[in-house]
């Protein structure tokens, strides 16, 4: 018993420092979107296209209400028409070691009531956090294709960008000048 408690205490800091996976963050954002959808019955009647990205929002709605998928051509009186969800991951370099990850979810929907389509409404949610390049590479490599993006190159410091090349050029110029000045004597 004491060994189990000791091991769990030793592993606690590791789990606190771990960054959530892109799919976990997108699922959390989808849960927030599902809470905002105007679903007023005991079953969510939804018409949509079955894509991998769409399944995230459908699972989020299903955690709230039972879901019944309705074909777009069905003669249902009231249902929710979901346009394909747009999931995106954007990485931007902050420093040489850190990268900013922004995951966004955009969902457009229309309510069909008595065979009349309402105006489209759109919800957009995003979440940003900071990762190290090693964490970002690992998370990005293990993410599904629709939650994967190219990582930017690390930003260089002023030393790497200006001073190091200036020192190399000055050293090369001094070497050439010394070579010709010693040779001419």
65-112 pLDDT tens trace:
888 877 766 666 677 888 888 889 999 988 888 999 999 999 888 887
Which residues lie closer than 8 Å to 39 by C-beta, 6 or more apart? 61, 64, 65, 80
Query: What is the torsional sign of CA 137, 138, 139, 140?
Result: positive
Domain boundaries, the chain: 19-154, 156-185
Higher pLDDT, 3 or 161: 161
Mean per-residue pLDDT, 18-31 = 86
Q: Model confidence at 61, in pLDDT bands (50, 70, 90)?
A: confident
User: d(Cα 151, Cα 118) in Å, to the nearest integer?
Assistant: 40
Residue 11 has pLDDT above 90, yes or no: no
Higher pLDDT, 5 or 155: 155
**What are the tokens at 83?**
């346009």
Looking at domain 19-154, does it have CATH number 3.30.160? yes
């Amino acid at each position: 018993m004491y060994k189990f408690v000791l091991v769990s205490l030793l592993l606690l800091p590791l789990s606190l420092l771990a960054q959530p996976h892109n799919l976990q963050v997108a699922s959390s954002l989808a849960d927030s979107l599902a809470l905002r959808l105007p679903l007023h019955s005991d079953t969510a009647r939804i018409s949509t296209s079955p894509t991998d990205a769409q399944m995230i929002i459908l699972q989020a709605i299903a955690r709230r209400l039972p879901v019944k998928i309705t074909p777009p051509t069905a003669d249902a009186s009231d249902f929710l028409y979901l346009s394909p969800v747009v999931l995106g991951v954007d990485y931007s370099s902050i420093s040489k070691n850190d990268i900013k990850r922004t995951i966004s979810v955009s969902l457009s929907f229309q309510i069909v009531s008595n065979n009349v389509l309402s105006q489209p409404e759109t919800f957009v949610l995003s979440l940003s956090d900071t990762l190290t390049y090693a964490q970002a590479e690992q998370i990005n490599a293990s993410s599904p294709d629709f939650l994967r993006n190219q990582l930017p190159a690390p930003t260089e410091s002023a030393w790497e960008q200006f001073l190091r090349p200036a020192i190399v050029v000055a050293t090369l110029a001094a070497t050439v000048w010394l070579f010709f000045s010693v040779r001419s004597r």
